[in-house]
């Protein structure tokens, strides 16, 4: 993983994205289905201007299906075309080409009125590091693709991958950077393992996760570690007593039989990141009362 957060790097990625944006019709934005808010950079809205927009809730195999459905409704209400996918297994990928075409329908109609027929729609994949862009492109493109552009003798240009007669995809994804202004965003990115653990202390991370789980997924926590939750877990201090219980139950002990908190914290984070606690979504949308997809 090893994400590098250099300002220079970010500025270059943004410049490249701005440049590529002028070439495309539709933006395919990947977000992590477990943290659709924190894995999304709002700057993309101004960068994308009036391009057609698709949001794919990737890694939906790890998220809570009922909240994935809720996020889909939420983004659709904002006018996006949305689908949950699993790029690793290819689940949900088949529908992507249809969704891209639906997102471009208005544009195709405008083209038609101007006498432009059968022009393929050009798409670019964007998303923050580690959200699954490369895995998605590989899954979408498969083996049946033909690369266009960069023909011998032609000046080096962009590589376009022809998905079918209607869609071409830019082969390099655009990199967005998460918005770290809100501390909770950084925390959730660290929880899913998108930020190096050295940035946020693992014990603190696990206590925040335990707090969240006790409130939102207590059954999963109790079942996994065979512990009892005897009081409401409202702060890190109480969460720390839960972590003690987990350490004891799992034999994470230091000399003298005291709980080894650091080892237990690592265990909890590893269990969470590998779905051993079940399907968990870390943030929920504020659903509009009357979804009104456009």
Give the residues lining the site for ligand G4P (CB under 6 A).
1, 58-59, 61-62, 86-88, 127, 129-135
Q: Do 153 and 107 contact (CB within 8 A), yes or no?
A: no
By DSSP bridging, strand 81-84 and strand 52-58 are: parallel
Q: Which is nearer to ligand G4P, 31 or 243 (CB)?
A: 31
Q: Which is nearer to ligand G4P, 39 or 203 (CB)?
A: 39
Give CA–CA dist 210/204, Å, rounded. Answer: 10
How many whole angstroms separate alpha carbon 97 and alpha carbon 233? 45
DSSP 30: E
Nearest distance from residue 197's CB to ligand G4P, in Å?
14
Residue nearest to ligand G4P (CB): 132
Is residue 146 classed as helix, strand or coil in its secondary structure?
Answer: strand
Instruction: Compare residues 109 and 270 and give the one whose CB is closer to ligand G4P.
Output: 270
- State in angstroms the smallest separation of the CB of 226 from ligand G4P: 26
Q: Using the minimum distance from each CB to ligand G4P, give the nearer residue, 91 or 292.
A: 91
Q: Are 46 and 128 in contact (CB under 8 A)?
A: no
> Based on CB atoms, which residue is closest to ligand G4P, 13 or 253?
13
Q: How far is the CB of 240 from ligand G4P (least distance, A)?
A: 29
Closest CB 59 distance from ligand G4P, rounded Å: 4
- State how far the Cα of 131 lies from the Cα of 39, in Å rounded to an integer: 8
What is the chain's length? Answer: 294
Q: How far is the CB of 62 from ligand G4P (least distance, A)?
A: 5
Can you tell me the distance from the alpha carbon of 78 to that of 284, in angstroms, rounded to the nearest whole number? 16
């Amino acid at each position: 993983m090893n994400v590098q957060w250099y300002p220079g790097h970010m500025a270059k990625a943004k410049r490249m994205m701005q440049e590529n944006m002028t070439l495309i019709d539709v933006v395919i934005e990947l977000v992590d289905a477990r943290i659709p808010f924190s894995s999304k950079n709002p700057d993309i809205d101004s960068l994308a201007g009036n391009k057609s927009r698709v949001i794919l809730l990737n890694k939906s195999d790890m998220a809570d299906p009922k909240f994935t459905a809720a996020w889909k409704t939420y983004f659709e209400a904002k006018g996006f075309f949305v689908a949950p996918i699993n790029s690793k297994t290819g689940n949900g990928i088949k529908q992507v080409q249809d969704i891209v075409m639906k997102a471009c329908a208005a544009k195709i109609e405008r083209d038609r009125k101007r006498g432009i027929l059968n022009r393929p729609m050009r798409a670019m994949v964007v998303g923050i590091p580690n959200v699954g862009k490369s895995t998605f492109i590989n899954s979408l493109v498969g083996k049946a693709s033909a690369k266009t552009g960069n023909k011998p003798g032609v000046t080096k240009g962009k590589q376009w991958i022809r998905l079918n007669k209607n869609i071409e995809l830019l082969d390099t994804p655009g990199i967005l950077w998460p918005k770290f202004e809100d501390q909770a965003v950084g925390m959730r990115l660290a929880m899913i393992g998108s930020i190096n653990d050295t940035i946020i202390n693992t014990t603190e991370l696990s206590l925040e996760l335990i707090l969240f789980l006790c409130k939102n997924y207590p059954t999963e926590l109790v079942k996994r570690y065979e512990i009892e939750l005897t009081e409401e877990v409202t702060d890190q201090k109480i969460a720390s007593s839960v972590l003690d219980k987990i350490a004891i139950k799992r034999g994470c002990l230091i000399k003298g039989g005291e709980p080894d908190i650091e080892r237990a914290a690592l265990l909890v984070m590893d269990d969470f990141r590998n779905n051993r606690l079940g399907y968990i979504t870390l943030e929920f949308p504020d659903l509009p009362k009357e979804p009104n997809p456009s």
